[in-house]
C-alpha cells in the first residue's frame, strides 16, 4: 500500500530557522504524550526596508501548537 504524504514539517526540529519571509522560528520546547504533542515556539520578525530606508522592527510572539497523534 502506498502511503501519501499529507503535509510537510514546517517547524525547526531543534534550534532556530530563518525563512525567506524574514521570520525566525525558534523551538522552545516539545512535550510528547501518548495522544498528542505540544510544541512551543518563539517567532520573530526583524528588518523591514521601505523606500530605501531600513527600519529595525522586532516583533516577537510565542506560539503553542497542539498536534493530535491519535483520535480518542
Is pTM beyond 0.85 here?
no
List, for residues 5-30, the tens digit of each pLDDT value. Answer: 666 777 777 777 877 777 888 889 99
Q: Judging by beta carbons within 10 Å of its beta carbon (0-12, 13-18, 19+), is residue 53 exposed, middle or buried?
A: exposed
Give residue 49's pLDDT.
Answer: 67
Give residue 11's pLDDT.
Answer: 74
Give residue 2's pLDDT.
Answer: 65
Domain residue spans of the chain: 17-68
Residues above pLDDT 90, as percent of the chain: 11
Amino acid at each position: 500500500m502506498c502511503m501519501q504524504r499529507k503535509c510537510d514539517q514546517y517547524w525547526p526540529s531543534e534550534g532556530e530557522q530563518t525563512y525567506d519571509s524574514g521570520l525566525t522560528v525558534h523551538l522552545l520546547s516539545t512535550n510528547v504524550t501518548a495522544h498528542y504533542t505540544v510544541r512551543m515556539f518563539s517567532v520573530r520578525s526583524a528588518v523591514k526596508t521601505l523606500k530605501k530606508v531600513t527600519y529595525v522592527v522586532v516583533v516577537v510572539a510565542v506560539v503553542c501548537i497542539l498536534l493530535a497523534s491519535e483520535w480518542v
